A = this chain, B = another copy of it.
Amino acid sequence: MNKPNTRNQHGISGKDDRQLMFSLINAGRAIEQSLEEALTPIGLSLAKFGALTHLVEAGEPLSLSECAKKMTCVRSNITQLMDRLEADGLVRRIKDPQDRRTVKAALTRLGRERQSAGAKEVARVQAELRKTLDGINQGALRRALSAIM
């Protein structure tokens, strides 16, 4: 990667960069940044791509609550995200006749296409990252990350 991290908001890393905790935070943000940059040209953000991807994977419309669960965020966030996705023409809200409280998000054709284009870009970033981490012990890395979460 070797891109400058332009999104380390707190900017804490102690006296040296070797502090593991902040390195992990910064690494995560650096990758997010790369993904955002890769998605920008096709008109997506990481948040939007995430929502579209869950809808594609589900293969059917999902209620906004289900979306919130899959994206591990609060529902008011999904309300807003869907507003933007709907404004972009990538998603359509449909009412659920079974449960009139529920609103489902359905992909539009454009939404499906956009997600597919996004997936290609994400795969590209992922391949870059794999190459970057080529020489290192990925097993150790995976074990560490799964210990954290």
Residues of A within 8 A of B (CB): 1-2, 4-12, 17-21, 23-32, 46-47, 49-51, 53-54, 70-73, 77, 125-126, 129-130, 132-133, 135-138, 140-149
Contacts and interface: CB of A to CB of B under 8 A. Distances in A.
Contact of A136 (B1, B125, B147): B147
A149 B28 contact: no
Contacts of A26: 28, 145, 149
B149 A72 contact: no
Contacts of A5: 72, 149
Contact of A10 (B27, B46, B138, B148): B46
Given A140-B141, A147-B133, A71 B20 contact: no
A104 B11 CA distance: 18
B10 A71 contact: yes
A149 B30 CA distance: 7
